[in-house]
Chains A and B, each alone.
Chain A
Amino acid sequence: MKVSRRKFIAGASVGAVAVGAGIAVPVIAASKSPAPTKSAGTSSNPLMVYVTNPSSGDVELLVGSKAVRFHDPDLVARLLKAAQ
């Protein structure tokens, strides 16, 4: 199911954190239309970590034209602690 911008922005207000370092995780979701240019997501580019479900530890990493989803309750716990 696609996620609308509005839905994402609403979610981001409580669960998104921008970070400045790359995280090596498997790519499981990619753009419908691949970018022809070199991909973003090198360590010099900003990333966004979207905590899609704080209670379950589900995280989505937005990088370049990709979304990488993973499960990391420890990371989410640290982010939530930092957000307090």
Chain B
Amino acid sequence: MSSHREAPEISKDPVADNTDVYAFVSPNRPDTVTFIANYIPLEGPAGGPNFYEFGSDVLYEIHIDNDGDAEEEITYQFRFSTKIRNENTFLYNVGPITSLDSPNWNRPQFYSVTRVIKGGKTTVLAEGLTCPPCNVGVRSTPNYATLAQAAVHTIGDGIKVFAGQRREGFYVDLGSVFDLAALRPFQSLHLIHPPNNAPGVDAIKAVNVHSIAIQVPKSQLAKEGANLSDPTSAASVIGVYASASRKRARVYGGSDEASWDTGPWVQVSRLGNPLFNEVLVPMSKKDLWNATDPKDDAQFAKGVQHPELAALLPVLYPGVFPNLDAFNKSGGTRDDLVAILLTGIPAGVVPGFPGNFTTTRQSDFLRLNMAIPPSNNPNVLGVVAGDIAGFPNGRRVFDDVTTVEIRAVAGVTLPLVNKNFTPDGAASLVTDIQTPDLTGRYINDFPYLGVPLDGYDTPSS
């Protein structure tokens, strides 16, 4: 998946598992950028009685590099606390929850938002903000869309925030991809080809996720003096990643005392570009990658320069990727992928795209050129399809990043930096899911991810 359960250690710690990160110029407030960091993968909508919630022992952060040094200049921190209103019931709610302060809601969550400026001051922007409950079902959470929208908070300085359950926006043919890289529509050409040639399946269309969204005026994100109407200016580009950290030690109290945490925060999950750790980092280093800051990503560059998947494709699909096979055997490095994922794309590489290059220091950031306005006619394939407001220029909630990245690995983007390379015909035909059903996945306003599925109507995911 994008980054759901993508490393051995974090797959056992879903509350801290950063599943997706989005960063895009807000389509209905183009003077702002919306950042979304999702956590807790594969939430079954009926997952009660202890429905999903953020970790009160986890520090959630969204980091922004605005000067191309591969380190964050601005960090937004989110800390959660949980209350139990009625200690004598096992129920999540004891009646319909019709407002965020409903006494029927037995386990509300609250959070604070803190802005940390590198070398500057730390400011608590808001405290005591309410999360919405999970979407339990029609009896417990009627009018859920309205209830959840009340949890969109405006906290001053033109900033909006939301933290709570939403519909999973990512879509992927998971069962196929991880079954030895079966790529539709030419799975019949796979080295191992059972007779089942069914169309792609969106494996995560019926799950929810916990989402932290923050919408910030561009002027607060760019470094001082930036001209945000100039897409050719380096100052218009920001690098983004999100993370989750836990205290270095935890003491379990058993029956005698409450459990407690202590020590510095230790990063246990991070995410910039989708699928980076999932596909490009070997399993033996995935936990290390999660604990590492982007500025130190050069140690993982080999997996980008010589991706394992690119080497596997000609083997798994004999005769389908001859040009890619020849390139691999030449020992050439995938400088196209390095640019997309580790440095940003320099101006002039993609026709019509001013670029989003930030640094030669290899670092996995989701890079967004904030001066590029939202598209009136967005294409889910983003930049490779001529829609420069989409991935990998940031990432919108609906972008088909799986198809884009698989095509890129298969060689579609290599001619951008290697004019002698001709992609194989199959490379541009790979489509992770030909016709994904995206109904209800998104909304047109902040926080942009759709209303979560409810447990009564979606008893099984």
Which residues does A use to contact B, with CB under 8 Å? 2-6, 8-9, 12, 16, 18, 29-34, 36, 40, 46-48, 50, 62-67
C-alpha gap A62/B130 in the complex (Å): 31
CB closest chain-A residue, reference B12:
A6
Q: Are A4 and B251 in contact (CB under 8 A)?
A: no
Q: Are A46 and B251 in contact (CB under 8 A)?
A: yes
Residues of A near B249 (CB, < 8 A) are 8-9, 12, 16, 48, 50, 62
**Which residues in chain B, 344-383, are within 8 Å of chain A measured between CB atoms?**
none
**Which residues in chain B, 86-105, are within 8 Å of chain A measured between CB atoms?**
none
B5 interfacial by beta-carbon distance below 8 Å:
no
- Once A6-B9, A33-B77 are accepted as A-B contacts, the answer to whether A62 and B263 lie under 8 Å apart by CB is yes
C-alpha gap A19/B264 in the complex (Å): 18
Q: Are B248 and A8 in contact (CB under 8 A)?
A: yes
Residues of B near A32 (CB, < 8 A) are 245, 264-265, 267
Residues of B near A47 (CB, < 8 A) are 262
Other A-B contacts than A8-B266, A66-B263, 14 sampled, CB-CB below 8 A, are A2-B267, A4-B287, A5-B268, A9-B249, A18-B251, A40-B262, A46-B262, A47-B262, A48-B251, A62-B248, A63-B262, A65-B247, A65-B265, A67-B248
C-alpha gap A77/B250 in the complex (Å): 24
Q: Are A3 and B248 in contact (CB under 8 A)?
A: yes
Residues of B near A67 (CB, < 8 A) are 248, 263-264
Q: Are B122 and A34 in contact (CB under 8 A)?
A: yes
Q: Are B246 and A5 in contact (CB under 8 A)?
A: yes
Nearest CB on B from A16, distance (A): 7
B456 interfacial by beta-carbon distance below 8 Å:
no
Q: Are B265 and A31 in contact (CB under 8 A)?
A: yes
CB closest chain-B residue, reference A32:
B265
Q: List 11 A-B contacts (CB under 8 A).
A: A3-B248, A4-B287, A5-B268, A6-B287, A8-B249, A9-B249, A16-B249, A30-B264, A32-B264, A50-B249, A62-B263
Q: Are B266 and A2 in contact (CB under 8 A)?
A: yes
Q: Are B61 and A33 in contact (CB under 8 A)?
A: yes
Residues of A near B280 (CB, < 8 A) are none
CB closest chain-A residue, reference B124:
A36
CB closest chain-B residue, reference A6:
B9
Contact pick for A4, options B9, B61, B122, B262, CB 8 Å: B9
B316 interfacial by beta-carbon distance below 8 Å:
no
Nearest CB on B from A31, distance (A): 4
The A interface, classified by DSSP as helix, strand, loop or mixed, is mixed
Interface size on B, residues (CB 8 A): 29
C-alpha gap A66/B245 in the complex (Å): 14
Residues of B near A33 (CB, < 8 A) are 59, 61, 75, 77, 116, 245, 265
CB closest chain-A residue, reference B267:
A2
Q: Are B267 and A62 in contact (CB under 8 A)?
A: no
B328 interfacial by beta-carbon distance below 8 Å:
no
Q: Are A36 and B263 in contact (CB under 8 A)?
A: no
Residues of A near B250 (CB, < 8 A) are 9
Residues of B near A46 (CB, < 8 A) are 251, 260, 262
Q: Are A31 and B264 in contact (CB under 8 A)?
A: yes
B428 interfacial by beta-carbon distance below 8 Å:
no
Nearest CB on B from A5, distance (A): 6
Residues of B near A34 (CB, < 8 A) are 116, 122
- Once A33-B75, A33-B116 are accepted as A-B contacts, the answer to whether A65 and B263 lie under 8 Å apart by CB is yes
C-alpha gap A66/B263 in the complex (Å): 5
B430 interfacial by beta-carbon distance below 8 Å:
no
Q: Which 8 A-B pairs have the closest CB atoms?
A: A62-B263, A31-B264, A62-B262, A2-B291, A36-B114, A36-B122, A36-B124, A67-B264
Residues of B near A3 (CB, < 8 A) are 248, 266
C-alpha gap A16/B250 in the complex (Å): 11
Nearest CB on A from B285, distance (A): 12
CB closest chain-A residue, reference B257:
A46
CB closest chain-A residue, reference B61:
A33
B227 interfacial by beta-carbon distance below 8 Å:
no
B56 interfacial by beta-carbon distance below 8 Å:
no
Contact pick for B248, options A5, A18, A36, A40, CB 8 Å: A5
Interface string of B286-303 (1 = CB under 8 A from A): 011001100000000000
